[in-house]
């Protein structure tokens, strides 16, 4: 009989066999980190994008202002012809085509960026071509040359405008200057008063008749007169107007019979003459109405008032008139690769008391690269006087230096203006003075920037600026490229 094996008791745990555990040492594990490097390859598309953006911006900024102008007739205008203002090219014609209704001509044009301000409501465009009229001939330069568009800008504060209806003929008074005066005269008939006829003062032309029409009730004829800015102050509330006959006959017991034959223009067009009493009244506002007489009274012809007007540099007797002197600053400067070059600047300066006032770049030291031993020579063209002195630094604005000892002090009425106001700018040369209203002057810092619609050449740099109300010196004009601004006085002299 076989012997049974004893059964294992499930309650008794079996002990594991003894094991020998080897002692291990923990070592650091190296981790590899991949370092990101900026590849120069990415600069290529980045620079390409920047270049494209620059070229697009440049192309957009230089493309100018695009206009659409509609005319009844193209008069031979074609693509490539120019747009002009004040004798310079300010744009180009891109294309000419018939309008959709075939009743006119549509011109696509483009103004230069510098002339963008000409695209404003009220601007007039016309095709310059040869024209003959009683008032004279115009556009004769286009007989053998190309036609071109001319623009007469609208009011300076007018909104931007891109679509225009062109006019067939130029305005009778193109490019009316700021400060001109429009008034209305009424008469029983239009004999001797037609558009384009001259307006005269002491037989000197001071304006034009720019239009005639019937009054609202058709009982009178109304004529609009334009008086040029230089002569606007000649018209007062007691001024008299009469028709200028081509041939006047005056008879008297003492002087016999006098014949007075006016110009050929007056013979063909007639015109309007004016006279102001020896005791002139107040200046008038635009739109003032006057009666137009058929003939002058004898007393009117004897009137001899003393009136200030900007065309003759006349100022009130109580104020000294500034006398602008042509000046030139010459200096020597080192060249980049060695050697010395002669440089110079020109402009106007004004004697005030025992000082000379002028733009800082005329009376100041402009030499950052002065040649060794070089001196600035400030030369006044007048009287061949040369001033050699250490000049103050050019810090912008205005500067003054002592008047030469041999010169007598110049007493000029001057004041510090409170802000932009109507001004009269004296040309100092044969050019007509310029009258600017306050709305054309925008204060920027201590200067007044002049609206871009009013342009000045470099020959105006340093010109004296008078307050139009009292004809007192209040500052100087600065011309830098196409920018013109007034630097007002900061102190009195």
pLDDT band with cut points at 50, 70 and 90 for residue 492: confident
SS3 77: coil
From first CA to last CA, the distance across the chain in angstroms is: 150
Delimit the domains of the chain by residue range: 65-165, 181-307, 313-493
Report pLDDT digits (tens) over 66-121: 999 999 988 889 999 999 987 788 899 999 999 888 889 999 999 988 788 888 88
Burial class (CB in 10 A: 0-12, 13-18, 19+), 194: middle
What's the confidence (pLDDT) of residue 317?
38
Tokens 């440049």 appear where?
A: 58
Token pair belonging to 479: 């011309």
Report pLDDT digits (tens) over 192-230: 788 888 899 988 889 888 888 888 888 899 998 999 887
The vertex-146 CA angle with 143 and 150, nearest 5°, equals: 100
Query: Whole-angstrom Cα distance, residue 428 to residue 321?
Result: 12
Token pair belonging to 202: 């002491």
pLDDT higher at 426 or 431: 426
pLDDT higher at 270 or 357: 357
Residue 322 · residue 314 · CB < 8 Å: no
Residue 50 · residue 57 · CB < 8 Å: no
pTM score of the predicted model: 0.44
Report pLDDT digits (tens) over 277-335: 988 888 888 889 999 999 999 899 889 887 655 554 344 333 467 888 888 777 676 76
Residue 372 pLDDT exceeds 70: no
Query: Whole-angstrom Cα distance, residue 282 to residue 314?
Result: 18
Residue 374 pLDDT exceeds 60: no
Query: How many CB atoms sit inside 10 A of residue 411's CB?
Result: 12
Query: Whole-angstrom Cα distance, residue 95 to residue 78?
Result: 7
Report pLDDT digits (tens) over 470-479: 889 999 999 9
Query: Whole-angstrom Cα distance, residue 78 to residue 256?
Result: 62
SS3 15: coil
59 Cβ contact list (under 8 Å, min separation 6): none
Q: How many CA atoms lie within 13 A of 341 on its CB side?
A: 9
Burial class (CB in 10 A: 0-12, 13-18, 19+), 118: buried
Query: Whole-angstrom Cα distance, residue 11 to residue 112?
Result: 109
Token pair belonging to 151: 């623009």
Q: Which of 454, 456, 416, 417 is nearest to 437 (CA)?
A: 454
Which of 35-49, 166-180, 342-356 is predicted least confidently? 166-180
Beta pairing partners, 399: 358
Q: Which of 436, 423, 415, 420 is nearest to 468 (CA)?
A: 423
Query: Whole-angstrom Cα distance, residue 242 to residue 199?
Result: 10
Q: Which of 265, 94, 460, 198 is nearest to 483 (CA)?
A: 460
Residue 455 pLDDT exceeds 50: yes
Query: Whole-angstrom Cα distance, residue 329 to residue 358?
Result: 11
Q: Which of 457, 470, 468, 464 is nearest to 486 (CA)?
A: 464
Residue 490 · residue 446 · CB < 8 Å: yes
Query: Whole-angstrom Cα distance, residue 326 to residue 452?
Result: 25
List, as own/partner pairs, every contact residues 50-59 make where C-beta atoms lie below 8 angstroms and the sequence separation is at least 24, other chains included: none
Q: What is the mean pLDDT of residues 48-57?
A: 75
**Alpha-carbon dihedral 125, 131, 132, 138, rounded to 10 degrees:** 70
Which uninterrupted H or E stretch holds 254? none
């Amino acid at each position: 009989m076989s012997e049974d094996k004893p059964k294992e008791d499930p309650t008794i745990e079996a002990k594991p066999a003894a094991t020998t555990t080897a002692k291990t040492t923990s070592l650091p594990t190296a981790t590899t980190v991949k370092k990101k490097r900026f590849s120069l390859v990415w600069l290529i598309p980045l620079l390409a994008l920047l270049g494209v953006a620059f070229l697009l911006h440049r192309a957009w900024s230089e493309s100018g202002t695009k206009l659409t102008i509609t005319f009844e007739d193209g008069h031979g205008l074609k693509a490539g012809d120019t747009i002009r203002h004040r004798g310079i090219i300010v744009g180009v014609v891109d294309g000419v085509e018939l309008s959709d209704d075939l009743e006119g001509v549509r011109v696509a044009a483009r103004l230069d960026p510098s002339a963008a301000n000409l695209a404003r409501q009220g601007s007039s465009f016309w095709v310059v071509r040869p024209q003959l009229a009683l008032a004279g001939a115009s556009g004769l330069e286009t007989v053998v040359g190309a036609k071109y568009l001319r623009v007469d800008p609208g009011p300076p504060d007018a909104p931007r405008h891109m679509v225009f209806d062109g006019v067939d003929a130029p305005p009778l008074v193109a490019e009316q200057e700021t400060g001109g005066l429009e008034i209305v005269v009424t008469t029983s008939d239009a004999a001797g008063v037609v558009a384009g006829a001259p307006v005269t003062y002491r037989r000197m032309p001071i304006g034009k008749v720019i239009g005639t029409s019937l009054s609202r009730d058709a009982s009178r004829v109304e004529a609009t007169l334009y008086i040029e800015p230089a002569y606007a102050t000649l018209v007062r509330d007691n001024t008299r107007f009469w028709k200028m006959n081509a041939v006047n006959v005056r008879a008297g017991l003492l002087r016999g019979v006098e014949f007075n034959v006016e110009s050929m223009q007056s013979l063909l067009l007639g015109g309007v003459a004016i006279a102001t009493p020896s005791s002139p009244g107040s200046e008038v506002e635009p739109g003032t109405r006057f009666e137009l007489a058929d003939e002058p009274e004898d007393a009117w012809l004897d009137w001899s008032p003393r009136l200030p007007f900007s065309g003759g540099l006349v100022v009130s007797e109580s104020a000294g008139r500034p006398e602008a002197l042509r000046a030139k600053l010459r200096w020597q400067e080192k060249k980049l690769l060695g050697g010395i070059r002669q440089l110079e600047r020109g402009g106007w300066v004004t004697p005030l008391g025992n000082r000379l006032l002028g733009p800082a770049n005329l009376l100041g030291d402009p030499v950052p690269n002065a040649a060794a031993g070089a001196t600035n020579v400030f030369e006044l063209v007048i009287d061949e006087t040369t001033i050699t002195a250490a000049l103050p630094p050019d810090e912008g604005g205005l500067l003054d230096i002592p008047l030469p000892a041999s010169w007598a002090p110049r007493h000029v009425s001057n004041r510090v203006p409170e802000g932009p106001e109507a001004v009269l700018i004296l040309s100092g040369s044969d050019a007509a003075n310029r009258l600017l209203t306050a709305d054309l002057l925008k204060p920027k810092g201590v200067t007044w920037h002049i609206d871009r619609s009013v342009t000045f050449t470099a020959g105006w740099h340093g010109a004296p600026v008078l307050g139009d109300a009292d004809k007192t010196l209040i500052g100087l004009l600065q011309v830098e490229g196409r920018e013109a601004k007034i630097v007002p006085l900061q102190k009195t002299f």
